[in-house]
C-alpha cells in the first residue's frame, strides 16, 4: 500500500475517474503498437483504471502485462474489469512510480514499458524513467505519452480560468503541465542517447459517446483535484464554470481536444 501522503506530492487526486475508462491503445498508444509482439512482456506504469492496459494485454495474448498505479481504488477497478473481460494474462498492483525496486525483485525483466499522462504529474520524470529502464531487458522499449495542450470549443472565461489555475497549481506542486513538450529531453536525461530516442505528437478528443461523463469530471473545477479550498470570491466563477460544462455537454457542436507528445527510448542491447 502507498498512502496518499507518501506519494509524489506533485500528483493530483482524482475524485471521478469515469471518463478515463474510454482511453484505449488504438487512440492513446498508437506510437507503441508497432513494437508489441504476441509474447511481449509489458509493464504499464501509472495504469489508472486499466483500459489501455487491458488493450495491451489483448495484443500480447501469449505474453504478460503488469499494470501499477498509486491509487488502490483504480487498481481494484482494473482488476474487476480484467475479470469481467476474461483477460488472464494481466495483473494489477498498487505501487509507486518513484520507487519501482519492489517490481525488479518480484518480476522478470520486461520488453516494453508504457506510461500515459504520468510524467506530467511527477516532480522528477528523468528519475522515474531511469527506474523504469532498470526493469527492462537489454533492447527493451521505454515509452511515455504526456499532454501539453488543451482546447475547448466553445469556451468561456470561467473555463479558461480553470485551465490556467490547473497550470499554476500543477507547477506549484512541482509537476509539469507542459510535459509533452519536454518528455524527449527527460528521456535523454534518463541516460538514453539521442540516436536511441524517437518522439512525435498525437491528438485526441474527449469521448463523444460520454460527453456527460467528461463534463461531470470537469464542472467542479480543479480545486478538489489539487486540494485547494474555494474562497468566498470564487463562488460566482464556480457557478459560471458549472453552467458552462452543463451547456457544453448539451451542445452537439462542442469539442474538447488534447495534444500530446510521445517519446520512445530504446535500451541498448
Q: Please spell the DSSP secondary structure of 215-247, one letter per residue.
A: HHHHTT-STTTTTPPPPGGGHHHHHHHHHHHHH
What number is the average pLDDT over the span 25-43? 96
- Residue 159 domain flag: no
Say if residue 7's pLDDT is above 70: no
- Residue 30 domain flag: yes
Say if residue 91's pLDDT is above 70: yes
C-alpha cell read off for 36: 508489441
- Residue 218 domain flag: no
pLDDT tier at 17, thresholds 50, 70, 90: low
Cα separation, 170 vs 174, in Å, equals: 7
Say if residue 3's pLDDT is above 70: no
Say if residue 5's pLDDT is above 60: no
- Residue 139, domain extent: 4-153+175-209+258-266
- 211-218 and 235-250 helices cross at what angle (nearest 10)? 170
- Residue 113 domain flag: yes
Per-residue pLDDT at 4: 35
pLDDT by residue (tens digit) across 123-182? 999 999 999 999 999 999 999 999 999 999 999 999 999 999 999 989 988 999 999 999
How many percent of the chain have pLDDT more than 90?
76
- Residue 71 domain flag: yes
Strand residues in the chain grouped as ranges (E): 41-45, 64-69, 90-94, 110-114, 136-153, 197-205, 255-266
CA 103 from centre of chain: 20
Q: Quote the pTM value.
A: 0.89
Mean pLDDT, the chain, rounded, equals 90
- Residue 204 domain flag: yes
Supply angle C-alpha 193, 117, 87, rounded to 5.
100
Per-residue pLDDT at 221: 82
CA distances from 210 to 148, 162, 249 (A): 23, 21, 9
What number is the average pLDDT over the span 184-193? 99
State the CATH number of the domain containing residue 99. 3.40.50.150
Q: Which residue has the cell 524517437?
A: 198
- Residue 76 domain flag: yes
Say if residue 2's pLDDT is above 80: no
pLDDT by residue (tens digit) across 204-241? 998 776 788 888 888 888 877 777 787 877 899 999 99
Cα separation, 38 vs 171, in Å, equals: 40
- Residue 137 domain flag: yes
Q: For residue 141, give the nearest of 115, 164, 113, 162 by alpha carbon.
A: 113
pLDDT by residue (tens digit) across 107-125? 999 999 999 999 999 999 9
Say if residue 252's pLDDT is above 80: yes
Provide the number of structural domains found in the chain.
1
Amino acid at each position: 500500500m502507498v498512502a496518499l501522503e507518501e506519494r509524489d506530492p506533485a500528483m493530483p487526486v482524482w475524485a471521478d475517474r469515469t471518463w478515463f475508462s474510454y482511453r484505449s491503445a488504438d487512440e492513446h498508444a498508437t506510437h507503441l503498437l508497432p513494437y508489441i509482439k504476441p509474447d511481449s512482456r509489458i509493464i504499464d506504469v501509472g495504469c489508472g483504471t486499466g483500459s489501455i492496459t487491458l488493450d495491451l494485454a489483448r495484443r500480447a495474448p501469449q505474453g504478460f502485462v503488469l499494470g501499477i498505479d498509486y491509487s488502490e481504488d483504480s487498481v481494484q477497478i482494473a482488476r474487476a474489469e480484467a475479470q469481467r473481460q476474461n483477460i488472464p494474462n494481466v495483473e494489477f498492483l498498487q505501487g509507486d512510480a518513484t520507487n519501482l525496486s519492489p517490481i525488479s525483485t518480484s518480476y522478470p525483466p520486461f520488453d516494453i514499458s508504457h506510461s500515459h499522462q504520468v510524467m506530467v504529474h511527477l516532480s522528477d520524470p528523468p528519475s522515474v524513467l531511469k527506474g523504469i529502464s532498470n526493469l527492462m531487458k537489454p533492447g527493451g522499449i521505454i515509452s511515455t505519452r504526456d499532454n501539453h495542450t488543451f482546447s475547448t470549443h466553445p469556451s468561456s472565461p470561467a473555463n479558461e480560468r480553470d485551465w490556467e489555475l490547473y497550470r499554476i497549481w500543477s507547477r506549484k506542486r512541482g509537476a509539469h503541465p507542459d510535459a509533452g513538450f519536454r518528455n524527449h529531453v527527460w528521456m535523454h536525461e534518463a541516460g538514453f542517447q539521442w540516436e536511441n530516442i524517437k518522439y512525435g505528437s498525437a491528438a485526441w478528443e474527449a469521448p463523444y459517446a460520454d460527453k456527460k461523463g467528461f463534463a461531470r469530471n470537469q464542472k467542479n473545477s480543479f480545486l478538489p483535484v489539487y486540494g485547494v479550498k474555494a474562497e468566498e470570491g470564487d463562488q460566482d466563477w464556480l457557478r459560471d464554470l458549472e453552467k458552462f460544462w452543463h451547456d457544453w455537454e448539451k451542445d452537439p457542436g462542442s469539442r474538447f481536444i488534447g495534444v500530446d507528445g510521445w517519446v520512445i527510448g530504446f535500451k541498448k542491447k
